[in-house]
Amino acid sequence: MTGIRRKFLREGVTIRTYLLALVLAAVIPLGAFVAALLYVISSKQEAEMESAVLESAEALAAAIESNIDSGLKRMVVLANESSLHVGNIDQFAQRCREAVSGSPDWRSLLLSASDGTQLVNTLSPLSTSLPSGLGLPWVKQAFDTGKPVVSRLFIGRISKQPIVGLAIPVTLQGSVQYVLASGLDLGFLRDLITRGVGVEGGVAVLLDQELTYIARSNASESLADGFAPSRLRQQISARVKGVGNFRTDEGLEVVGSWVRMPQSGWTVLVANPLAAHRSTWLSYIALLGAICLFVAGAGAVAARLLAQRIAQDVHKLGAEADTLASGTPVAGTGSSIVELQALGQAHQRAGTRLRELLEREREHRELAEAQNKSKDEFLAMLGHELRNPLGAISNAGALLQMQNGDPKVVRFASEMISRQSGQLRRLIDDLLDVNRIVSGKISLEVKPVNLLKAVQNAVSALQARDKEHAITVEAKPVWVEADPARLEQVLSNLLSNATAHTPAEGRIRVEVEQQGVSAILRVADTGIGIEPEHLGRIFDLFYQVPQALDRAKGGLGIGLTLVQRLVQLHGGSVSVSSEGHNRGTTFTVSLPAVPVLAPAPAPAPREAVPRYGAIEQVRILLVEDDPDSRESLKRVLELNGHSVEVAPDGIAGLAKAAQWHPDIAIVDIGLPQMNGYEVAKAIRRELGGKPTLVALTGYGLPEDEQRSRAAGFDQHLVKPVDFDRLLEIVARLS
């Protein structure tokens, strides 16, 4: 055999030889193969049938549980009837009779008082004397536990018929006063489980908590009568659900499954006969065996004919492979053999795929180059937008160094520094807001907001710092559910965009109106407008309409992105329209409107906090590692009449606090040796509730503030420090 194999490997083997060997290899093990196949298919189909009957039992159990849950919910609704709560039992009894007539799954309703008196029973006339309700264990159980109860099967004392029921406690004034119970229609349950039998001749059985028959499907009488759950009691009691093959008292083999329902404690049992199943798969196996024999006989005859045809197609495919290797697409050789046809199609797909990959590589390269260019442009824009305020701040610093005590120069320089610092803060806040929105970390604190008032406030704030542009407001009161701070951000960005792109002699108009269920906000200007090719990308992150080299309009291309994302978070939409260059632009925001609310009483005016002096002196400890920040904050606080001590790190700050006992400690979070959180915890541990702790940090996310408060801080300030905010905190804490 080794020599023959070596000869085959050396000289090669034809397709015809392989086909003949294949026929021989198929005929010899055919018997063993068919036998194994019979076993595998039989086992698989029986497993599938077991799975199917288990699924049927689970589905039927779910349907019954759903019906029970529906009944309990309807009983809860009935128990909330006002007639019961005011003690009008006759009216409530009439309502119960109406409910029974409208509920096909209910046979009766009864109402029992806490002393056991049956007040209502729809099976008896109103004037009939009724037996005690506490004689029904399930009714008494509902009184005792205060929870809904699903009963076992019992004989009704009035109807003298088998019945199962539901009971719920009715709580009035904090205690259970009544129990409302419903008797379920066993015919309805029988019809329900009958619909769950998916196989002809199958049967479904519903058992109560004690495994007593409640209902049985109207399936084959022989199977229904012969199926004896008593043989399965031990297994049903031991497991919540199960499946297996069983034999009825009449010797009929069935595959059965049971599922115990957690809410009611009832059990659903579904069984299907095995005879039809086994005859079906045996016929399939017989057919398969006949096909195998036919293939084995015909294979030897067809091997020679097929070998020649296969060889021709293989030679063509080899030529196609050579063509494909040269980079030339091929049409694919046709063949009557599926595998060879698939190979030819694979050659064709390979050529198409090669072209697609080359095209995709080109597109990805162009996209990467465009993204790299966008990154460079954004960094250039960011550098430009940062250098402008930094340059102004640097110039103001130079003025302060060169001035000779001229108060006008000092005022001019300080106002410039304050204004440009605010610009830097807004740039950073916008970048952080975009990051939070894109990453899904932003949260809204919505409440009813008068959109008219919000527009008026935003316009007033803008006009306070921009005296050049005239803004017209045409608005009516419209209320929306919104986060006031985020709504103000939307309005501010839209108005700032309008003023940035509208000359001083232009016009800006703001409109607010209600259209149906929507609140409509329009911000229209007569500015430079937007060309049609830019309208589709105007809300894209970092996208800006091309500007001149001086970038007189400024911006990072994130304001309108913020507007769109914030409006969408509020369940609204925003759109833009423009007729082109120098034809103005209109932004339209649509938000869900809410009913008009009565105006809230005006809050009492807060006592103004003086910025410099005129407040009680406070002992303040400032722990900050940056010398410039430490010294500047110290001087600002001292100018306001406070006594200030400083420390450059956490250890020194903790020692100073223990020695000096300040009223307020302002602590930087990012301290060397011992961070601000550790300092706060140590101060709270050693000094208790005093001093008041104020965190100073560059991290301004909500979780950062939560972490500060968890460490013991009372206030949380984000750098760069808003001096007015800091002085207000100090003044109120003093």
Mean pLDDT of the chain: 77
pLDDT of 687 over the 60 cut: yes
| 255: its two tokens | 């595959």
pLDDT of 598 over the 60 cut: no
d(CA 555, CA 135): 81
Final residue before a domain boundary, out of 276, 297, 318: 276
Final residue before a domain boundary, out of 594, 628, 651: 594
Whether residue 456 is found in the same domain as residue 588: yes
Using alpha carbons, select from 359, 331, 360 the residue that is nearest to residue 344.
331
Q: Where are the beta strands (DSSP E) in 20-69?
A: none
Whether residue 451 is found in the same domain as residue 572: yes
**Could you give the angle at which helices 723-733 and 627-639 cross, rounded to 10 degrees?**
50
- 700 vs 276 pLDDT, higher one: 700
Query: Is residue 88 in a domain?
Result: no
Mean pLDDT calculated for residue range 287-313: 68
CA dihedral sign, ordered 69, 74, 79, 82 = positive
Mean pLDDT calculated for residue range 338-353: 71
Whether residue 215 is found in the same domain as residue 258: yes
Using alpha carbons, select from 497, 598, 486, 488 the residue that is nearest to residue 539.
497
Highest mean pLDDT among 280-284, 553-557, 596-600, 617-621: 617-621
Query: Band of the pLDDT at 604, cuts 50, 70, 90?
Result: very low
Whether residue 574 is found in the same domain as residue 625: no
Final residue before a domain boundary, out of 207, 242, 276: 276
Query: Is residue 368 in a domain?
Result: no
Q: What does the chain come to in residues?
A: 734
Position 700, amino acid: G
Domain extent at residue 623: 619-733
Query: Is residue 231 in a domain?
Result: yes
Whether residue 695 is found in the same domain as residue 625: yes
Using alpha carbons, select from 718, 719, 716, 720 the residue that is nearest to residue 729.
716
Query: Band of the pLDDT at 571, cuts 50, 70, 90?
Result: very high
Q: What is the CATH number of the domain that holds 479?
A: 3.30.565.10
Whether residue 568 is found in the same domain as residue 477: yes
Q: Is 534 exposed, middle or buried (0-12, 13-18, 19+ CB in 10 A)?
A: middle
Whether residue 453 is found in the same domain as residue 584: yes
pLDDT for 228? 47
Query: Is residue 627 in a domain?
Result: yes
Query: Is residue 205 in a domain?
Result: yes
Whether residue 590 is found in the same domain as residue 623: no
Whether residue 717 is found in the same domain as residue 662: yes
- 370-389 tens-digit pLDDT: 656 656 655 655 555 555 56
Rounded to 5 degrees, φ, ψ at 716 are -135, 115
Q: What is the CATH number of the domain that holds 207?
A: 3.30.450.20
d(CA 292, CA 28): 12
Question: What residues are paired with 110 via a beta bridge?
Answer: 121, 181
Highest mean pLDDT among 353-362, 378-387, 668-677: 668-677
Query: Band of the pLDDT at 398, cuts 50, 70, 90?
Result: low
Query: Is residue 490 in a domain?
Result: yes
Whether residue 543 is found in the same domain as residue 458: yes
- The three-class DSSP label of residue 500 is helix
Query: Is residue 571 in a domain?
Result: yes
Whether residue 590 is found in the same domain as residue 627: no
pLDDT of 718 over the 90 cut: no
- 82-129 tens-digit pLDDT: 898 888 988 998 999 999 999 898 988 989 888 878 888 888 776 556
- 494-552 tens-digit pLDDT: 888 888 888 878 889 999 999 999 999 999 998 888 888 777 777 776 666 654 333 34
The tally of domains found in the chain comes to 3
Q: What is the CATH number of the domain that holds 684?
A: 3.40.50.2300
Give the β-pairing of 213-216 and 154-155.
unpaired
| 53: its two tokens | 């009957």
Query: Is residue 270 in a domain?
Result: yes
Whether residue 574 is found in the same domain as residue 636: no
